[in-house]
Amino acid sequence: MTWSPTSWKTRAASQQAEYADPVALDRVVEQIGRLPPLVTSWEVEQLRTELARAARGEAFVLQGGDCAESFDDCRSEPIAAKLKILLQMSLVLVHGTRKPVVRIGRIAGQYAKPRSADTETKAGVTLPAYRGDIINRDGFTAEERAHDPVLMLRAYERAGLTLNFIRALTDGGFADLHHPEYWDVSFAKDSPRAAGYERIVSSIRESLDFVSAITGIEAEALRRVDVYTSHEALALPYEQAQTRQVPRRTGHYNLSTHFPWIGMRTAQLDGAHVEFHRGINNPLGIKVGPAMTREWLIGLLEALDADRAPGRITLIARMGADNVATKLPPLVEAVRSAGRTVLWMCDPMHGNTETLPQGIKTRRFDKIVEELEQSFTLHTQLGSRLGGVHIELTGEDVTECIGGARGLAEVDLERAYKSRVDPRLNYEQALEVAMRIADHVRGTR
């Protein structure tokens, strides 16, 4: 069948909104389609080149951000805080892996969530589940839970505003290592890990000063960094709306983000999400969970990467610390036997979610680190390579995950639990994960 930006409509699409008014939906899709793109094709191609480098072992990828962005958080502090933790983690990873780090935010479009149940019941009232700010609203009334296509337009605008701010910050010296205020560990100062981090920053700063002293060159490239965007390409009318051809290039690009990924619940071989993604030129992420089989995975690679393009596919494994040793190796072997090169990443979050007796969703820091460390080791044993990590985090001082150097306990969770969906690592825990990865990589080099 020939592909087009709308050919996904001929397939079964799971996890989609049901809009009461199809005319209103068409109007919104058409409107978004007329607005300028959020990202450009050359940035998308640049990221694909960098992911290809990571797949060859020449770079490491850090992908991180909220489980779900909310429209309310489209404010300067949360965006700047998220950018800051991503930059700080990447610095620690550069130091630990001795490789360039490619930074990708779950940002500027991460507004749609797959849900395991279509409805939610509270005190005898059943309403549609909250599916992310791009689909409906979080409040528990019929009006707020109705699927509203105009929210896609609001999402496009919020994504544009977010990206505008990120671009300004990363271009305007926010990333400059000579500005210590951007690199200091603010409220984490009394964290048991703060001294280690400070050592890394000053060692890098000294190396930079040394290089500019002997070369006489103030490395301009070090004053700015690239931060790419990504989101789960779940709400297909939104993804379709920004998918277009650009002058002097062949094929279509989804210009709502650099790096869309297919979530675990929508990776059916004959489904609408696979159909949509096979036709766009962007590099693609595919979440790979414990239910993935070799045949299914190879089918996905054949459908989505018929040309075997370097950098095209990133497999983001999210097995859980207890499953990774049995579930990951057969898939790594299957990809290798098919003669394919992919970038393997580890998402140590989504296989380690648990619900406490009082109903709170959390994740244990130790399980997260355990899945990461096991994944590095397993890949090495298999003659493969773990080329990146995918983390749910926030730059704020939330209490959603248990553990870490400060020893957050179950009783602490209620203090600052803000996530509407999955529990995120807070600022300190995220930095600590980066340091644990760096320690692990250094220790095994």
Report yes or no: 399 and 408 within 8 Å, Cβ to Cβ: yes
If one asks whether residue 201 binds Co ion (CB under 5 A), the answer comes out as: no
Number of residues that bind Co ion (CB under 5 A): 2
Give the total of residues touching ligand PEP (CB under 6 A).
11
Looking from the CA of 193 toward its CB, the CA atoms found within 13 Å total 24
Query: What is the torsional sign of CA 20, 23, 28, 29?
Result: positive
Q: Does 38 bind ligand PEP (CB under 6 A)?
A: no
The distance of closest approach from Cβ of residue 288 to ligand PEP in the complex, given in angstroms and rounded to an integer, is 8
Determine the Cα–Cα distance for residues 45 and 259; give it in Å rounded to an integer: 10
Q: Taking CB under 5 A as the rule, which mask of x and - marks residues 403-422 in contact with Co ion?
A: -------------------x
Q: How far is Cα 289 from Cα 353, in angstroms, rounded to an integer?
A: 13
Q: Pick what 318 binds: Co ion, ligand PEP, none; C-beta below 5 to 8 Å, kind-dependent.
A: ligand PEP
Quick note: the x/- pattern for Co ion over 55-94, rule CB under 5 A, is ------------x---------------------------
Q: Among the candidate windows 37-45, 52-60, 152-160, 262-270, which touches ligand PEP by CB under 6 A?
A: 262-270
In the complex with ligand PEP, which residue's Cβ is closer, 48 or 287?
Answer: 287
The C-alpha atoms of residue 415 and residue 360 are separated, in whole angstroms, by 12
For ligand PEP, which stretch binds (CB under 6 A), given 76-84, 259-267, 407-415, 433-441?
259-267
Choose the one of ligand PEP, Co ion, none that binds residue 264, judging by a C-beta under 5 to 8 angstroms depending on kind: ligand PEP
By the rule CB under 5 A, 438 interacts with Co ion: no
Alpha carbons 253 and 37: distance in angstroms, whole number: 10
Binding-site member from 84, 318, 367, 436 for ligand PEP (CB under 6 A): 318
Tokens at residue 48, please? 């694909």
Name the minimum Å distance from CB 349 to Co ion.
Answer: 6
- The length of the chain is 445
Structure tokens at 443: 């220790």
Q: Which is nearer to Co ion, 67 or 328 (CB)?
A: 67
Q: How many Cβ atoms sit within 10 Å of the Cβ of residue 182?
A: 17
Q: What is d(CA 121, CA 327) in angstroms, rounded to the nearest whole number?
A: 34
Which of these segments, 158-166, 261-269, 307-315, 406-414, binds ligand PEP (CB under 6 A)? 261-269
Residues in 146-175 at the binding interface with ligand PEP, rule: CB under 6 A:
none
Q: Give the shortest CB-230-to-ligand PEP separation in angstroms.
A: 10
Does residue 264 bind ligand PEP (CB under 6 A)? yes
Which lies closer to ligand PEP via its Cβ, residue 120 or residue 184? Answer: 120
Nearest 5 degrees, angle CA 23-CA 145-CA 26?
15
64 binds ligand PEP (CB under 6 A): no
Does residue 284 belong to the site contacting ligand PEP (CB under 6 A)? no
Query: Which residue number has the CB closest to ligand PEP?
Result: 263
Mapped onto helix, strand or coil, the DSSP state of residue 232 is strand
> Side-chain half-sphere of 70: how many Cα atoms within 13 Å?
13
Rounded Cα–Cα distance for residues 44 and 48 (Å): 6
Largest CA distance in the chain: 72
Name the token pair of 70.
Answer: 């909310």
Which of 95, 287 has the CB closer to ligand PEP? 287
Q: How far apart are CA 263 and CA 268, in angstroms?
A: 10
Q: Does 329 bind ligand PEP (CB under 6 A)?
A: no
Question: Mind giving me the DSSP string for 109-123?
Answer: S------S-SEEEET
What are the residues binding Co ion (CB under 5 A)? 67, 422
What are the residues binding ligand PEP (CB under 6 A)? 67, 114, 232, 263-265, 287, 289, 318, 350, 422
